[in-house]
Structure 1
Amino acid sequence: MSLEIIISEAIKTAMRAKDRVALDSLRAVKSQILLLKTEARGAEVSEDQEIAILQRMIKQRKDSYEQFSAQGRNDLAEVEDAQMKVIEKFLPQQLSAEELEAEMKKIISEAGAESIKDLGKVMGVASKTFAGRSDGKSISEMAKKLLS
């Protein structure tokens, strides 16, 4: 079942429950999916593209949360945090730090990377491997840590 259908069902559930935060979050996700479909001009939207949308939306909310918190606007920060939690429910299971480190070690050995100079080679493979299961920042930090 596609993410769009799952989101549509979740919107109905949120409407019945009168959950305003979930409803706003889910409508934003559906809007982004429809925008992607429009840009693709009828082509089918892949699961990777859907995951990328969710990750981008979570990153936007995380950045907003940090900015609002730094400015002392906890009321707005709480809304962003709540929306982030709603959207995260639709992502695949995220890797723990230990799992990420173990998988990164495998990728580094397979790529033959030995120093930080090989970061680009490792990041290319790791980004594709961990798409949807870990964010780019975590992947990058782990790669730098292991290659240093």
Structure 2
Amino acid sequence: MIANTIDQEIKQAMLAKNQAQLRGLRAIKAALLLAKTEKGSAEEMTEEAEMKILQRLIKQRKESADIYKQQGREDLSIIEEEEIAVISAFMPTQLDRAEIEKIIAQIIVSSGVNSVKEMGKVMGLANKELAGKADGKLIAELVKAQLA
């Protein structure tokens, strides 16, 4: 479970006075605590649920960093990018585009889908297979391209 690792990492970051690391770790801890206390959540959080939370945190920071860059606020953009690096360290290794394309091609063949109309079926299988290993937008883009 990531939560135990996060606590240890926070202690180390505090001792090292590493503010960027500390901000990222605290963001992860807060998001995990929030998810655990939400109404209808399970007692123990699955690894898949933790990965979804981390993906969401990274996506939020990427969007914020882009907005800051557009507004000429490099100082704030750098803070977001530092946090992205900290959070990404807890994610599984991201696959490259060629590997993702190969996996999607296999999913399309095995599911027997041959039209864009059935893209949802392939997306469901692809998202399950590639959870935490690839960006959702990229998966959708590649599935659409291969079905077209």
Residue equivalent to 1:143 = 143
Q: Which contiguous aligned blocks of 4+ residues in structure 1 show a shift greater than 6 angstroms?
A: none
SS of the aligned residue for 1:69 comes to helix
Task: State the alpha-carbon separation in 2 of the partners of residues 97 and 53 from structure 1.
Answer: 23
Residue 145 of structure 1: CA displacement? 1.3
Deviations 1:103-142 (A, max 9, x none): 0000011111112112111001111111111121111011
Residue equivalent to 2:14 = 15
Residue equivalent to 1:26 = 25
* RMSD of Structure 2 on Structure 1 (CA): 1.1
Q: Could you tell me which amino acid in structure 1 is paired with residue 72 of structure 2? A: G
Q: Could you tell me which amino acid in structure 2 is paired with residue 145 of structure 1? A: A
Residue 42 of structure 1: CA displacement? 6.4
The correspondence of residues 1-148 of structure 1 with structure 2, limited to 5 A, is 2-39=1-38, 40=40, 43-148=43-148
Task: State the alpha-carbon separation in 2 of the partners of residues 88 and 42 from structure 1.
Answer: 25
Identity of aligned residues (%): 44
Question: Size of the alignment, in residue pairs?
Answer: 147
Residue 41 of structure 1: CA displacement? 5.9
Task: State the alpha-carbon separation in 2 of the partners of residues 42 and 93 from structure 1.
Answer: 27
Alignment gaps of 5+ in structure 1: none
Alignment gaps of 5+ in structure 2: none
Deviations 1:41-70 (A, max 9, x none): 661111111001100000000000111111
